[in-house]
Structure 1
Amino acid sequence: MTMKTLYLLCSAAPPVFDVAHVIEDAQARGWNVCLGLSPTAAHWLAESLDGLAALTGHPVLWQYPLPGEPEQWPAADALLYAPATFNTVNAWALGLTDTLTVGLATEALGNGTPVTAVSCTNSALAAHPRYETSLATLRGAGVQLLLHDNTPMQAPAHFPWATALNGLGHTAPQH
């Protein structure tokens, strides 16, 4: 049996501090997890990057490779972008791929890879008119989008990680 590969992509928001538990949960569901972080999320988790790489069995990526460098991860069978911040949602909807994680998420849409995302922003940012337009754009592109109101900033335990993983299927399909 071959495990299916999940790209778990995370922006810098408090739920990212629980990512090790999320990886373990996804692995228990049968996923081979590759972790990608926004540059700020990588900075926040800098002391944990080696441990996260050991947990996944893959390098944790947060920046684009140099031209000609080999791929570091297997191809994705599904992608989960969570938490997806205000900035991430807007950049992704506009196709602004200046970060690796947004670039991977944008390519996943073009490749037809199933994509689930959990937005994570506060109500003040969510009230900006661009945000709702960006959410509609992502939904229209086929993203299974879960909204999470992070007002006030809640502890990572309140983030709907299990719901997001459930959206991928109770266990990863095997072939």
Structure 2
Amino acid sequence: MTRPVLYLFGSAAPPVHEFPDVVRRANAEGYDVCVGLTPTAARWLSAEMPVLEKLTGRPVRSEYKLPGEPDVWPKADAILLAPATANTLNHWALGLTHHFVVGVVAEGIGKRIPIVAMPCVNSAYAQHPQLDLSVATLRAAGVNVLYGPGGFEPNQPGERRSEGYPWHLAFAAIEEIVRGQP
């Protein structure tokens, strides 16, 4: 039996630094993982790129391939975009696809690839009216956005929760999609 292919995408929020451990967890749970990062997240994780590529057996991508170049990743069975910043969510909901990660998830909606997104925004960003509009737009398009009660809840600017980023919620949502198990 082949392992389900999980595209693990992240934007530049503190939990992206946990990607090596998140990839290890996904591998242990039976996923074939491909890592994609926004340009800023790629810069943040530049020192971890060799580790991520060794763990996945594939290049980490943060840029579009050139026309005519072969795709180096298999097709996704599911996409997890976490952490997702307000910037990434707003670009995605508005269809502004100049970054690789946003382009793939935007196209993923049309291709009907199951997508889970879990924001990481502080309460100041959460007050901007576009964020709620973007979350509602993505949910209406069929994206499982784990935001609010039962998902990620904003913290105060500069604060981190002692319990950490709720990766367990993201993995449970992916498990339910891919394997039909909560």
What is the TM-score of this pair, normalised by structure 2?
A: 0.90
Per-residue CA deviations over 1:95-146 (Å, capped at 9, x if unaligned) read 1101000011111111101110101111111111111100000010111111
CA distance in 2 between counterparts of 1:172 and 1:30 reads 11
1:123 partnered with 2:120: no
Partner residue in 2 for 1:68: 68
Partner residue in 2 for 1:169: 175
In structure 1, stretches of 5+ residues that fail to align are none
CA distance in 2 between counterparts of 1:10 and 1:67 reads 24
CA contact (8 A) 1:30 1:172 kept: no
In structure 2, stretches of 5+ residues that fail to align are none
Give the residue type in structure 2 aligned to 1:166.
A
CA contact (8 A) 2:53 2:59 kept: yes
Equivalence map 1:9-28=2 (5 Å): 9-28=9-28
Q: Which has the higher strand share?
A: 1
CA distance in 2 between counterparts of 1:127 and 1:144 reads 21
Partner residue in 1 for 2:43: 43
Equivalence map 1:15-164=2 (5 Å): 15-147=15-147, 148=152, 149-151=154-156, 152-154=158-160, 158-164=164-170
CA distance in 2 between counterparts of 1:56 and 1:155 reads 29
CA contact (8 A) 1:16 1:156 kept: no
* Shift in alpha-carbon separation, 1:172–1:126, aligned structure 2, 3 A: same
CA contact (8 A) 1:14 1:155 kept: no
CA contact (8 A) 1:18 1:157 kept: no
CA distance in 2 between counterparts of 1:142 and 1:62 reads 24
What is the TM-score of this pair, normalised by structure 1?
A: 0.94
CA distance in 2 between counterparts of 1:47 and 1:157 reads 26
* Shift in alpha-carbon separation, 1:153–1:65, aligned structure 2, 3 A: farther
Aligned length: 173
Per-residue CA deviations over 1:46-69 (Å, capped at 9, x if unaligned) read 011011100111110001111111
What is the aligned-residue identity percentage?
A: 47
Structure 1 residue 171, shift from structure 2 partner: 9.7
Larger RCO of the pair (alpha carbons < 8 Å, separation 6+): 1
